[in-house]
């Protein structure tokens, strides 16, 4: 099958891209990596009037330190971000999760912003943005705004992004040096979307948890922040943490569903078990007991 006819434009600046999106009147689609979009075009499940290619906009690429965090351009290739030393050093949870996104071949074309903006509920990057407390930078001819990642997603493949708006950056706040990474993913095959997944970061100070950020993927219609588990962990002494109790609190925030891959009951059961195991191993609770 071939795509339906569409116009193609390749702006060279954010301002030009925003102007095109505004003038298109709700009919444009942005393309960066195209790993999801191209199959949809070929199947005619997506039929934009105008395809706006942002690959020529240098300002939308790269990783940079900013005040209080790290900014990742939305058109940054996943493979480039995976090799970035700044991200690996300061945000190891980001790098850990990114290594599970798709396959080596797809990461060479896929972009960080493409995954963030798509909002696939079972994908790693949206959940990582939620867990780490990232902010999404958005621009249009009307101005700019920043939206916290946990307020960016409103449903499956649905975000607060308006048709005339463009994601221009994802800013991840700094986490204390040496913070701990929490990550688990259960999938049918490597590279598949997760049946159950969790990602997060923990800061341990003086034997107690001083900061926690945890999110689920594949466990609801959007990335799901594990707020009850975060609250239970804050201030808790490592040696006194019961991973099974925290895991039950974490699963309580989820809204898993039945599909042809797994049932909601399976997701809850497996989610609770892998969360408890991940927390126990991350905090080395056996040696603390």
Q: Each residue of 11-46: pLDDT tens digit?
A: 999 999 999 999 987 788 999 988 888 777 787 878
- Please tell me the least confidently modeled range out of 30-34, 53-57, 144-148: 30-34
* The pLDDT of residue 68: 94
First vs last C-alpha separation in the chain: 60
Q: What is the DSSP letter of 174?
A: P
The DSSP symbol for 238 reads G
CATH architecture of 7-52: 2-Layer Sandwich (3.30)
In the predicted model, what is the mean pLDDT of the chain?
94
User: What is the three-state SS of 8-20?
Assistant: EECCCCHHHHHHH
CB 14 within 8 A of CB 166: yes
Query: pTM of this prediction?
Result: 0.95
Structural domain boundaries of the chain? Answer: 7-52, 59-173, 180-283
Q: What topology does CATH give the domain 180-283?
A: Enolase-like; domain 1 (3.30.390)
The answer to whether the CB of 197 falls within 8 A of the CB of 217 is yes
Is residue 208 scored above 70 in pLDDT? yes
Q: What is the mean pLDDT of residues 153-170?
A: 96
| Angle between helical axes of 243-252 and 264-283 (0-180°, round to 10) | 140
Q: Does domain 59-173 have CATH number 3.30.465.10?
A: yes
d(CA 83, CA 86) in angstroms, rounded, equals: 9
Secondary structure (3-state) at 236 = coil
């Amino acid at each position: 099958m071939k795509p339906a006819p569409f116009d193609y434009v390749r702006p060279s600046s954010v301002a030009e891209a925003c102007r095109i999106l505004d003038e298109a009147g709700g009919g444009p689609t942005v393309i960066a990596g195209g790993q999801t979009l191209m199959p949809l075009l070929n199947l005619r499940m997506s039929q934009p009037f105008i395809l706006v290619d942002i690959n020529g906009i240098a300002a939308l690429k790269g990783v940079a330190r900013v005040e209080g965090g790290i900014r990742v351009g939305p058109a940054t290739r996943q493979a480039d971000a995976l090799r970035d030393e700044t991200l690996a050093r300061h945000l190891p949870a980001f790098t850990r999760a990114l290594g599970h996104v798709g396959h080596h071949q797809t990461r060479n074309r896929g972009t960080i912003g493409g995954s963030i903006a798509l909002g696939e509920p079972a994908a790693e990057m949206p959940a990582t943005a939620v867990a780490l407390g990232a902010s999404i930078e958005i621009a249009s001819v009307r101005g700019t705004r920043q939206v916290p990642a946990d307020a960016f997603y409103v449903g499956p493949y649905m975000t607060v992004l308006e048709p005339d708006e463009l994601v221009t950056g994802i800013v991840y706040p700094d986490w204390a040096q040496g913070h701990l990474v929490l990550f688990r993913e259960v999938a049918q095959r490597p590279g598949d979307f997760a049946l159950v997944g969790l990602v997060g970061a923990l800061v341990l100070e003086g034997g107690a948890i001083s900061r926690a950020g945890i999110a689920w993927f594949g466990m609801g219609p959007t990335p799901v922040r594990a707020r009850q588990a975060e609250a239970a962990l804050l201030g808790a002494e490592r040696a006194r943490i019961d991973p099974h109790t925290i895991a039950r609190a974490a699963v309580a925030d989820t809204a898993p569903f039945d599909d042809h891959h797994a049932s909601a009951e399976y997701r809850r059961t497996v989610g609770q078990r892998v969360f408890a195991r991940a927390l126990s191993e991350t905090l080395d609770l056996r040696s603390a007991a």
